[in-house]
Amino acid sequence: MKKEEANFTIEQFEETIIPGKKARWIRHCILFQFIRMSFFGLRSIGIILLNIRNEKEIPQ
């Protein structure tokens, strides 16, 4: 990796993707965020249950 490549610039990035105002608004819409929190909570419970399921008792 060349130093210039390591120093990725904002200008280079802006040519590709930057979330618009709509995306930023969604991030702070209270109702929408409550819904997202619920979904993330369910995903998190899924991970916790998976960890419990994957913990096995094995002989020494």
Partner 1 sequence: MARVVIMGGGVAGHTSASFLNKWLDDSHEIVVVTPNSHWNWIPSNIWVGVGRMDKEKVIFPLAPLYKKAGITYHQAKAFAIHPEGSKKSEKPFISIEYTGQGKEEEREDISYDYLINATGPQLKFGATQGLGEGSTLGKNTVSVCTAEHAVHANKELLKIFEIARSGKKQKILIGTGHGACTCQGAAFEYILNIEHEAKRAGVRENLEIKWISNEPALGDFGMGGMHLGIVGYVMNSKLLGESLFAERGITWLLSAHVSKVEEKKVHYELIDGTMGEEEFDFAMLIPTFGGADFEAQDKKGKNIYEKLFLPNGFMRVDGDYTSKPYEEWKASDWPSTYQNPSYKNIFAAGIAFAPPHPISKPATSPNGTNITPAPPRTGMPAGTIGKAVAHSIKNMINDGDNAKLNAISMAKMGAICVASAGFGWKEGEVVSFTVYPIVKDFETYPGTGRDTSRTYGEIGASGHWIKHALHYIFIYKAKLKPGWALIPE
Residue 46 CA to residue 41 CA, distance in Å, equals: 9
8 Å CB contact between 42 and 48: no
Please report whether residue 25 would count as binding partner 1 according to CB under 8 A. Answer: no
CB 26 within 8 A of CB 32: yes
Assess 21 for contact with partner 1 (CB under 8 A).
no
> Smallest distance from the beta carbon of 15 to partner 1, in angstroms?
10
Contacts to partner 1 by CB under 8 A: 1-3, 6-10, 13-14, 17-19, 26-28, 30, 33-34, 36-37, 40-41, 43-44, 46-48, 50-51, 54-60
